[in-house]
Structure 1
Amino acid sequence: MTDTLQEVKREYEGGSSRPLGSYARVLGMYGGAVSVLLAAARLTGRTGPDTVTPMDLALMGLFTHRLSRTLARDTVTSPLRAPFTRYAGVSGPAELREEVRGAGLRHALGELLTCPFCLAQWVATGYAAGMMFAPKITRMAGATMAAVAISDWLQLAYARLMKAADERHD
């Protein structure tokens, strides 16, 4: 069995070094977290909503987008990523570019923590759990992060407009 797994790993990697075993551990951590949340919901008699309204979905989407980017790219959250990454510069307004370092699980976690697209599933799962266990607080957190996301987009749009106006006057 081990030989077969090693062969699959070699064929998948195609000459690159990929921490497949560590990715499997990260997947296991996610599955374990979801299992614990489901067990806690069952033990406490919590059930999900009968429906998810378009407003709930929009709030969850904006929350997930903003918190994922905050965790993965924000300067202030860099101490959370520091054990797994190395500073590599600025990637955009108020965002850092970091390189993943280490091997094995450290590398896999670094990839997860620097990828807002990868973190989104974890964040959305946390939001869904929050809606089961503390919906009022979760909605307030969702509204807060949604407001931050909208503010970010407005700041970027304003900066573009100012730049365009300056270019017209030059």
Structure 2
Amino acid sequence: MRKRGPGGAKDTVGELVTYPFCMSVRVASALTAGQMLWPRVTRTTMGALTALAGADALRLTYSALVDRTTGE
């Protein structure tokens, strides 16, 4: 029986799931396929994700402005 050490299958899967470039390719592929197979549901999902991204951008902007004005 082969022992699992550093760099084993668990680490590889973890990197594939958490690495931003890999995830961006998977998300883009899923949304593209969704547009072809389920356009209404995909548009709704994309709208929700866009709103989430906008809220996150506003939060980051606010946080940067607070840090800049308080000198932290």
Q: Same fold (TM over 0.5)?
A: yes
State the one-letter code of the partner of 1:160: A
Larger Rg: 1
- Map of 2:8 onto structure 1: 103
Give 1 or 2: higher helix fraction. 2
Between the two proteins, the alignment pairs up a number of residues equal to 66
> TM-score normalised to the size of structure 1?
0.36
State the one-letter code of the partner of 2:49: M
- Runs of at least 4 residues of structure 1 off by over 3 A? none
Measured against aligned partners, the alpha-carbon deviations of 1:86-130 in whole angstroms (never above 9, x if no partner) come to xxxxxxxxxxxxxxx6603x2221111111211111111111111
> TM-score normalised to the size of structure 2?
0.80
Percent identical? 35
Aligned positions of 1:49-128 closer than 5 A: 103-104=8-9, 106-128=10-32
Alignment root-mean-square deviation, CA: 1.5
State the one-letter code of the partner of 2:25: Q
State the one-letter code of the partner of 2:8: A
State the one-letter code of the partner of 1:150: G
| Alpha-carbon distance in 2 for matches of 1:102, 1:164 | 41
Which segments of 5 or more consecutive residues in structure 2 lack a partner in the other structure? 1-5
Q: Which has the higher contact order (CA 8 A, sep 6+)?
A: 1
| Alpha-carbon distance in 1 for matches of 2:45, 2:29 | 14
Which segments of 5 or more consecutive residues in structure 1 lack a partner in the other structure? 1-100
